[in-house]
Copies of this chain bind each other. A is one copy, B any other.
Amino acid sequence: MIRVSVDPAPIELAVEVAALEARGAGGVATFTGIVRGDDGVTALELEHYPGMTEASLVALAEAAMARWDLLGVTIVHRVGAMAVGERIVFLGTAAHHRREALDACAFLIDRLKTDAPFWKREHRGGATRWVEARHSDEAAAQRWSGIGD
């Protein structure tokens, strides 16, 4: 089961987790990204490429299903304006074996960072700034390159 959602509404973590837990797996791994308020950030905006975004997330989920023995993959990314402390992204995997669930979850967040067309803009009071991509994200995504990918 693959579930992909790109939505301006807040991410309902309990609902997403419940759906993964209902897959009959022995384990569910999740990663949730949250808007950090340190460094003076007061709000965040997420822009994306409608159409390509959803397709790239489905491709990412399919890559995870092909690589690991998973019963479910969920990718939910929020777009639009969000406040400090709110969830930006939720990745979840359900598997019989914990290693598969955890590795797949790490893969999803690493690859999402480089493979999905989202752009973040930070607000600091009245000022705004587009976030720069980080080389460390490229390196993290490269970690998963290889056969069967």
A: residues with CB less than 8 A from B are 13-14, 17, 21-22, 24-34, 36-38, 85, 87, 96, 98-99, 101-102, 105-106, 109-110, 140
Rounded to whole angstroms, the CA-CA distance of A31 and B27 in the bound complex is: 7
A21-B34, A24-B36, A29-B29 known; A102-B99 Cβ under 8 A: no
Contact sample, A vs B, 30 pairs, CB 8 Å cutoff: A13-B14, A13-B17, A14-B14, A21-B32, A21-B87, A22-B85, A24-B36, A24-B37, A24-B38, A24-B85, A26-B33, A26-B34, A27-B32, A27-B34, A28-B30, A28-B32, A29-B30, A29-B31, A29-B32, A29-B105, A30-B32, A31-B98, A31-B102, A36-B96, A98-B106, A98-B109, A99-B140, A102-B102, A102-B106, A102-B109
